[in-house]
Amino acid sequence: MDLDLISNILFAMVRTGTPLLLVALGELVCEKSGVLNLGQEGMMLFGAVIGFIVAFATGSLWLGVALAIVAGMVLALLFALVAVYLNANQIACGLALTIFGVGLSSFIGTAWVGKPLVGFGTLAIPLLSQIPLLGRMLFAQDLLVYLSFALFAVVGWVLLKTRTGLVLQAVGENPAAASAMGLPVRRVRLLAVLFGGAMAGLAGAYLSLAYTPMWAENMTAGRGWIALALVVFASWRVFRVLLGAYLFGLASILHLVLQGLGVSIPSNLLAMLPYVATIVVLVLLSRDAVRTRLYAPVSLGQPWQPGH
C-alpha cells in the first residue's frame, strides 16, 4: 500500500471511531460513579434525530449539536430518576431506555428520512495537515472531531489529576464510605449519568450532522453497544478508551479497504467485522474474570440509598 492509501485509511479510522470515543467517554464517567447505563444506543439515536431536525429547520449546525446534547441529557435524567433515586434495577432501566429511545427516534424522524443536509465539512490546519501519514488523520478533520480530541483530554485530566476525579471514583468504589465522608453520592451519580447522556447525544449529532449528514432509522448501527464493550475492553482506563475506539473504527472500515484492494470476500461478511471483533474481545476478557473485577468499579450496577 502506498502512503496516500494509508493516510486515507487513518483519516477514515478517526472519523469512524469518533462517535465510539464520545459515547464511550460518557459511559466511562458514568460507570466510574458506579452506575451502569445500557441506554447508550437509545440516547445516541434520540440525539441524532433531534440534532438533524433542529439543524435542518434552523440552518444552524451548532444549534443542532446543542439540542442533541440536551436530548441525550433528558433521557439520561429519566434513567437517573428511576435507577439512581428510586433504586430500580440499572440493567432493566438501561434496556428500557434503549428500547424507548429507538422507538421515539423512529417516530419523530419518520418525516425527515432522506432529507438532504450540508453537514460539517473538514477544516484542514495549515502546515500541520501536510505532515506525512498523521497530517490528514489529525489535522484535516471536521470541528466535531477536534472537539472529541479536546473532550478526551479534559476527561483524562479530570479523572487522573483532579479532586473531582477522586470523588467520582470514591463514589463508584464504596458509596457508603463516600457518604460517611460527607460526599453527595446521589448528586455525583446524577451528574455522571447526565454527562454520559450529553456525550451520547453529541455522538448522535456527529453521526447525523458530520459523518453522514442525514437521518435514517437505527443509523447508529449498534455503536452504543460496541461502546459499552469498549469500556470493559479498556479496563475502565481513559487512554485505552481512545485506542479501543480507533481500533473498532478501523475494524468498521476494513471491509471497504479490503474491497478496494480486490479481496474476493462477500461484502456482508466483511461488514460483520466490527461486531465479530466486539464478541471476540468480550470472550477474551471473560477468560480472566479476576482481572476484570480488579479494574471494574466495586459498586458498579449496585443501587444505593442513604443510610445503607
Contact indicator for 155, 28 with CB cutoff of 8 Å = yes
pLDDT digits (tens, 9 = 90+) for 112-131: 998 989 999 999 998 888 88
pLDDT at res. 254: 78
For residue 86, what pLDDT is reported? 92
Give the chain's end-to-end CA distance (angstroms, integer).
Answer: 60
pLDDT greater than 70 at residue 146? yes
Burial category of 125 from C-beta neighbours within 10 Å (exposed 0-12, middle 13-18, buried 19 and up)? middle
**pLDDT above 70 for 164:** yes
Query: Residue 65: which pLDDT band, with cuts at 50, 70 and 90?
Result: very high
List 122's β-bridge partners, or say none: 142
Residue among 15, 80, 74 nearest 43 (CA): 74
Residue 216 CA to residue 200 CA, distance in Å, equals: 17
Selection from 44, 246, 242 nearest residue 152 by Cα: 242
- 260 band by pLDDT with thresholds 50, 70 and 90: low
0.85 surpassed by pTM? yes
- Architecture label for domain 3-114+132-295: Orthogonal Bundle (1.10)
pLDDT confidence of residue 220: 93
Under a CB-based contact definition with an 8 Å cutoff, are residues 30 and 195 in contact? Answer: yes
DSSP code for 83: I
Assigned C-alpha cell, 273: 467485522
Mean pLDDT of the chain: 89
Half-sphere exposure of 106 (CA within 13 A, CB side): 11
Place of cell 453527595: 184
Angle at 191 between CA 190 and CA 197, to 5 degrees: 90
Give the CA distances from residue 259 to residues 198, 221, 246, 263, 273, in Å, rounded to whole numbers and listed in that order.
36, 21, 20, 5, 13
User: Do residues 142 and 120 lie in contact, with contact meaning Cβ atoms separated by under 8 Å?
Assistant: yes
Identify the pLDDT of residue 288. 64
Kindly tell me if the per-residue pLDDT of 1 is higher than 60: no
Domain ranges of the chain: 3-114+132-295
Length of the chain: 308
